[in-house]
Structure 1
Amino acid sequence: MRVLAGRLHRWAGLATALFLAAAGLTGSVLAFKNELEALLNPQLFQVAVPHGSDTVRSLQDPFVLREQLQQRYPAARADYLGFPQPGHSLMFFLMPRPHAISGDPIVPTRDQVFVDPYTGAVLGDRQWGVLWSEGRWHAENLVPFVWRLHEALALPHPWGKWFMGAVALVWTLDCFTGLWLTLPRGQPFLRKWRPAWGIKRGASAYRFTLDLHRAFGLWLWVALLVFAWSSVMLNLREAIYRPVMSTAFSFQDEARQRPPRLPSPRWEPGLDWRVAHARARDSLQSLASSQGFQVLREDSLWYRPAQGAYLYRTRTSWDLRDEVGRSDLWIDGDTGAVLLTNFEGRGLGGDQVSAWLRVLHTGEIGGLAYRIAVGLVGVVVAMLSVTGIMVWARKRRARAHGRSD
């Protein structure tokens, strides 16, 4: 049995090592994605705050800025509106209008536009995650491209996510195989298991590599399992994650996650954006008063033609994340009636576990200390992949030498 487990661990590790090393290192980078974006692209993300005045009052009306942007890009749809925060640029997502001709020069070749919320000036734009186009490199997309590598090896959707989901599933199962291989035979159990948790001083290079691989895998076993299984959740949620987790936890009906898709998109809402915002804000404040939570910050308002509804996203005292809000309220785009609400970290047991797995994976909880920890875990994942290959190569050479003798 142990021989079979050893073979499974060996071949699972070899099959996934390079991909896990890439995922670990890119994940370490993404733990600081906001800081890196501001450092690498200050012209897009940083704005000058007016002096000698109330910076909040100095912010321009975001609805006016959206209307101006819509006029600037008439062939695009500015269906996403983020609410400005002092000292930060305002980002708009652009989507082509239906039946737009891609060769028409007024159709934007960029899908993100950055605007100064104090002056209304367009700071720049980019096509998210595209590192090479139009015969040149786009350095402003370096961090988004790292994100694409981490999530799906920059492969086309959905193949990349399916592939990385399969890698994550093998990694999850291999966590248990690797743990089992460290367990000692016979008694006393703890005394015999103790050497597996340490690194022997003065050992040979091979023994040092083996100890490094085994000890770090044991000390960080829980963290590795969390990142492995959360990767399955993020890539194979419906195919693998929910069926497995549903054996132990209850999940909210999928129909309660977002309104159903309409038979055909409703491209233009009946409610004006300002009216929709007022309806959504008032509805959320009523819920906050009756259910005992606080609305801390407005995040965004997004019209979704497929549902014919506005998605109003805020950060509330119920949210798990440090900065980005994930409390959602959907209202009908024509009537303003509340269709459904979703609050991060609330709901049934499976929904709460999933919310925690997500924020633990992305490092959006626990402040800078936890993000540093996430970055270190990513480096350890890469190290375990490399040392695993080194141990296998050393054993392979030893077996080959033995056969030649």
Structure 2
Amino acid sequence: MRQTFVVIHRYLGLTLALFLMLAGVTGSFIAFYDELETLMHPEFRLVQPPAQQTAISAVTLAGMLQQKYPDAMFNRINLHHAADEAVSFYLQARPGNKNGLAFDEIFVNPYSGQLLAERKWGDITQGSINLLPFLYRLHFSLALEKTGRLILGVLALLWTVDCFIGAYLTLPARQRQTSILKSALSDQAKPYSWLRRWWRAWRVRWQGGAAKVNFDLHRAGGLWLWAMLLVFAWSSVAFNLRDVYYPVMGTLFAKQGFGEDIPRLAQPLLQPGLDANAALTTGRSLMQQLSQAKQFAIHHEAKLYYDAGKGTYTYIVSSSRDVSEKSANTAVMFNANSGERLAVYLPTGAAAGDTITQWLLALHTAKVWGLPMQIFVSTMGAGVLGLSVTGVLIWLKKRHARKRVRQLKQA
């Protein structure tokens, strides 16, 4: 059985190696996505706040920009930004617009309404303005959108399985008593306990030669990083293979529904009864009622979404129910015509499955514990790369050895 798992681990590792290398390298940069893009492009990420002037609301800015982009819909409005940050908007092509949009993300000065930059998010042909978004696309979809997400989702599922196989292979094999005399003298010989023998797998024999050092780095590195590797693997399934992740989690843990049962309209609702300003007012009121009923504190509002296909608004805030203030997922959904509340979502404390999922996603994206976690996740990217490289080197060495044995037999 152990040898069977060795073979499975070998070929799963080889299948995953190239993709994990790519994910490790790109993930190291993505952990500092906002910081790196601000460093590279302060001209459209930062603004100088005028003295004694308040920022224009994001909803008002969206209304002002609608005239400039008549073929686009401002369905996602970011409601929270620092005083010296530009406001970003993601644009969606209106139904019937067969040509699409030349730009789907724009940056605006929130004090003057001045357009600072526009880009087709992730299109590397537009130059350095899309370098970080392109790395993001590589990391999450191989820059192949739905096809890439499916491929990475399946690979993430295999990675999850391989995490357990790899951990099993580090466990010490059972010791066999070879003689009655050895059994009789066992108390005097004091053989290693199971845990003491396993401890060898956690260490690196730095003086054992290059092959042993490489093997120990792979085995010990996998053990020391195992918990976070499993977090990355299973959360990647959550990101890219939702049809597998949520049914599995749903059989083990409770989960909230959030609008899944709301049917799509026969025709998109392009002119809802509530405009963005009225929707924002309604969302604030509903969220305030929810916070009083469920006894949580609201830190700041985050986003306002409009789904024309279902005719609903979703108002999202960061609250004490979120795993951190950087992870805003407390939400209320309501009818875009009547303002009737349709669904609520509490990231933690309402359903165990949702709480676990929120923690997994927050750990994966370094949205908890501030800068130390960002550094750790960035370093983990290098760790994933190292484990992949050492694994391939182990396979090459053993392959060479097997080839040499065959040659000797033939001789």
Please, what TM-score do these two structures have when normalized by structure 2?
0.91
SS at match of 2:252: coil
For residues 150-202 of structure 1, the C-alpha deviation after alignment (integer angstroms, 9 at most, x for no partner) is 11111131x11111011111111111111111111235212222211111131
Change (3 A) 1:256 1:348: farther
For residues 248-307 of structure 1, the C-alpha deviation after alignment (integer angstroms, 9 at most, x for no partner) is 212234x64574322321111111221221111112112222321122111122221011
For residues 95-150 of structure 1, the C-alpha deviation after alignment (integer angstroms, 9 at most, x for no partner) is 22222352xxxx74100111000111000100011111xxxx42111111111111
Distance 2:349 2:93 in 1: 35
Q: Give 1:281's aligned residue.
A: 284
After superposing the two structures, state which structure 1 stretch, 220-229 or 284-293, moved more.
284-293
Q: Give 1:94's aligned residue.
A: 91
Q: Give 1:121's aligned residue.
A: 114
Contact 1:70 1:78 in 2 (8 A): yes
Distance 1:79 1:258 in 2: 21
Q: Give 2:231's aligned residue.
A: 226
Aligned residue identity for 1:180: Y
Match of 2:363 among 356, 360, 363: 360
| Structure 1 position 391, deviation (Å) | 0.7
Contact 1:258 1:340 in 2 (8 A): no
Aligned residue identity for 2:219: R
Q: Give 2:334's aligned residue.
A: 331
Matches within 5 A, 1:77-226: 77-85=73-81, 86-102=83-99, 108-132=101-125, 137-157=126-146, 159-187=147-175, 188-226=193-231
% identity of equivalent residues: 39
| Structure 1 position 84, deviation (Å) | 4.9
Q: Give 1:27's aligned residue.
A: 27
Aligned residue identity for 2:57: D
Contact 1:73 1:108 in 2 (8 A): no
Aligned residue identity for 1:229: W
Q: Structure 2: state its 5+ residue gaps.
A: 176-192
Question: How large is the Cα RMSD of the aligned pairs?
Answer: 1.7
Q: Give 2:247's aligned residue.
A: 243
Change (3 A) 1:101 1:404: closer
Aligned residue identity for 2:130: N
Contact 2:256 2:345 in 1 (8 A): no
Please, what TM-score do these two structures have when normalized by structure 1?
0.92
Q: Give 2:304's aligned residue.
A: 301
Aligned residue identity for 1:126: R
Change (3 A) 1:319 1:177: same
Aligned residue identity for 2:253: F
Contact 2:259 2:333 in 1 (8 A): no
Q: Give 2:56's aligned residue.
A: 60
Contact 1:320 1:365 in 2 (8 A): yes
Contact 2:108 2:114 in 1 (8 A): yes
Q: Which runs of 4+ in 1 moved over 3 A?
A: 255-260
In the comparison of the two structures, how many residue pairs are matched?
A: 390
Aligned residue identity for 1:205: A
SS at match of 1:265: coil
Aligned residue identity for 2:215: L
Distance 1:275 1:305 in 2: 16
SS at match of 1:94: strand
Change (3 A) 1:48 1:219: same
Higher CA-based Rg: 2
Change (3 A) 1:130 1:304: same
The answer to whether structure 1 residue 398 and structure 2 residue 386 are counterparts is: no
Contact 1:84 1:117 in 2 (8 A): no
Distance 2:108 2:121 in 1: 16
Q: Give 1:15's aligned residue.
A: 15
For residues 284-333 of structure 1, the C-alpha deviation after alignment (integer angstroms, 9 at most, x for no partner) is 11222232112211112222101111111111121113324211111211
| Structure 1 position 247, deviation (Å) | 3.2
Change (3 A) 1:320 1:260: farther
| Structure 1 position 6, deviation (Å) | 0.8
| Structure 1 position 19, deviation (Å) | 0.4
Contact 1:59 1:84 in 2 (8 A): no
Aligned residue identity for 1:73: Y
